[in-house]
Amino acid sequence: MDTNLIIGIINIILIGTTPLIFAAIGELVVEKSGVLNLGLEGMMLVGAVSAFVTLVLTGNYFFALIISIVSGLLMSGFFAFLVLYLMANQVATGLALTIFGIGISSMIGKNYIGTPIEGMSPYFFIVISIIIVFLIGLFFKRTKMGLIVKAVGESHSSAHSLGFNVIKIRFLSILFGGSMSALAGFYMSICYAPMWQEGMIAGRGWIALALVVFATWKAERILLGAYIFGGVAIMQMNLQAFGIKLPGQFFNMLPYIVTILVLVIISGNKLRIKMSAPSCLSIPFNKNQ
């Protein structure tokens, strides 16, 4: 193999995994604070379509980015309102958010399918995604605020009795997650494949969810995991192009199976699971209880 080929492969992997990294790093913060948001796919779709429609209407990339992130904030704010204030079941609300997002995104984008736009270079966002991952890593390791978020996810009742505002911290975490999902959507429809097609996220929201687990809730490992997930898919394509045909379905299964294995490995060991998974994940908090 010559170096150009390898550089090219790395380039394709970097381009392809960036939406996974954005969505996963957002969800990581949400889960660290003790909330499980299964609505990633829906928020990504809405982020993608609102970015695309804004770009078509205004021709301005910056507006597209802003509107896309606002849409993510709205979707996740709605989720946060339901699960934090109305104490709705997180699993059900997240799934409803995804179904709602599938519906609303295809309605919004109906007249924009196949509208040509000028795409944006992905490299700026690739760099941003890596920076965000390291910043979040530092946030949890070095800052007081990060420790508080972790404490809220670890034991909301202790955090509450220490005087932290559990609801507020979770609300902000969920909003961050929503904006990151929307950013992933923006990247999909503006940089990665500059177009709008219904359902164009094509399951990447669920892969991002798996990625958080695979990374054992550690920010830097999101990068590692994303590059492994993306790398497997791209290597599969490279092998195909070299004439080596393996059943494609088994490659597509790999991220899911590997994630289950990682879960088994970290969960089997009591100490390890304590160190990584937030104990209060998907458990609602009610300060009146």
Partner 1 sequence: MKKQSITLILIAAIIIIGGAFFITSQNELQDTSQSQKKIGFIYIGPPGDHGWTYMHDQGRQYMESELGDSISTTFIENVPENADAVRAIRKLAESGHDLIFTTSFNYMDQTLEVAKDFPDVKFEHATGYKRADNVSTYSSRFYEGRTIIGHIAGKMTKSNTIGYIASFPIPEVIRGINSFYLAASKVNPDVNIKIIWAYTWYDPAKEADAANTLINQGADIIVQHTDTFAPCQAAEKAGVLAFGQASNQEQFCPNAHMTAIEDVWGPYYAERGKAIVDGSWSSIDTWGGMKEGHVVMSPYNKNILPEDIIAEAKAMEASIIDGSLHPFQGPIYNQAGELVIPAGSVADDGMLASMMFYVEGINDSVPQ
Partner 2 sequence: MIKIVPRGNSSKSMFIFAPFLSVIFTLITASIIFFIMGYNPIEAIIIFFYSPISNLYGISELLVKATPLCLIAIGLSFCFKNNLYNIGAEGQLTMGAIFGGGIGIYFYDVSSFLILPAMIIAGAIGGALWAMIPAILKTKFNTNEILTSLMLAYVALLILDYLVVGPWRDPEGFNFPKTRGFGESGRMPVLYQGLRVHFGLIITLILVFISYFIYSKTIFGYQLKVSGYSPRAAKFAGYNKNYLIFSAFAISGAFAGIAGIGEVSGPIGLLYRDISPNYGFTAIIVCFLGRLDPLGIILASLVIALTYLGAEDAQLFLRIPAAVGFVFQGLVLFFLLGTDLLVNFKIKVKEKHGY
Segment near partner 2 (CB under 8 A); pick from 131-139, 186-194, 235-243, 265-273: 265-273
C-alpha 222/C-alpha 22 separation (Å) is 10
192 binds partner 1 (CB under 8 A): yes
Distances (CA, A) of 175 to 67, 96, 179, 223, 268: 14, 17, 6, 22, 32
Binding mask 85-104 for partner 2 (x = CB under 8 A): -xxxx-xxx-xxx-xxxxxx
The tokens for 61 are 């990339």
**Size of the chain, expressed as the number of residues it contains:** 289
264 binds partner 2 (CB under 8 A): yes
Indicate which single residue of 66, 102, 108, 281 sits in contact with partner 1 (rule: CB under 8 A): 108
Indicate which single residue of 129, 277, 280, 285 sits in contact with partner 2 (rule: CB under 8 A): 277
**Residue located via tokens 């393996």:** 246
CB closer to partner 2 out of 125 and 196? 196
The CB-of-232 to partner 2 minimum distance in angstroms stands at 14
C-alpha 28/C-alpha 31 separation (Å) is 5
Indicate which single residue of 62, 89, 91, 110 sits in contact with partner 1 (rule: CB under 8 A): 110
CB-based contact 101:205 (threshold 8 Å): no
CB-based contact 183:22 (threshold 8 Å): yes
281 binds, among partner 2, partner 1, none (CB under 5 to 8 A by kind): partner 2
284 binds partner 2 (CB under 8 A): no
5 binds partner 1 (CB under 8 A): yes
Residue 100 identity: F
240 binds partner 1 (CB under 8 A): yes
9 binds partner 2 (CB under 8 A): no
Residue 35 identity: V
The tokens for 131 are 């920076």
Helix (H) or strand (E) holding 106: helix 90-109
Distances (CA, A) of 168 to 81, 148, 264: 11, 12, 32
What residues make contact with partner 1 under the rule CB under 8 A?
A: 5, 8-9, 11-12, 15-16, 19, 53, 71, 74, 77-78, 81, 85, 104, 106-108, 110-114, 116, 119, 188, 192-195, 197-200, 202, 204, 233-234, 237-238, 240-243, 245, 247-249, 252
